Amino acid sequence: MLTSHGVLIVDQTAYRDMCAHALASFPLEACGLIAGAPSAGDGPAEAVWFVPCANDAASSKVYTLNARDHLRAERRAEDEGLEILGVVHSHTHTEPYPSPTDITQAPDPAWHYLIVSLRDDEPVVRSWRIVNGDVEEEPMVVSGASAR
């Protein structure tokens, strides 16, 4: 059973960037990473930026983060005193709920898993925690634009 970790706060610019990346990548699944300040216990996490990554699977049904893009994001986060908080990917024709593949491939129980659904007229984003195959939706709030 998962334990609630509070809310995920996503910077407005990062939110727009992940939706735009999902739309631009259509009909393939898009993917990328979010970063923010290192976690401080059970308080809210705040994603301050989104880095689009190439989908090496080049598929409309699955994604594989490009290793170089992932490394670049890790280095940028480290340089800025941040950490990778999670992964974002799109579902091109289904709701924003983790698929069995998403659940099986969830690499880090501390990560936030955001899914951008393109099923409807406007993108719909939901955030999930996935630990040992257990899936729990977490509240997500979009904050005002960052000062960056």
Which of 5-14, 68-77, 106-115, 139-148 has the least mean pLDDT? 139-148
**pLDDT per residue as tens digits for the range 49-74:** 999 999 999 999 999 999 999 999 99
pTM, two decimals, is 0.91
Confidence of residue 1 (pLDDT cuts 50, 70, 90): very low
Strands 8-11, 45-53: pairing is parallel
Q: To the nearest whole number, what is the mean pLDDT of the chain?
A: 92
What does the H/E/C string look like for 101-140? HHHHCCCCCCCEEEEEECCCCCCEEEEEEEECCEEEEECE
What are the structural domains of the chain?
8-143 (3.40.140.10)
pLDDT tens digits along 114-146: 999 999 999 999 999 999 999 999 999 999 854
Phi, psi of 78 (to 5 degrees): -60, -45
Beta-carbon count within 10 A of 16 CB = 15
Interval 11-37 mean pLDDT: 97
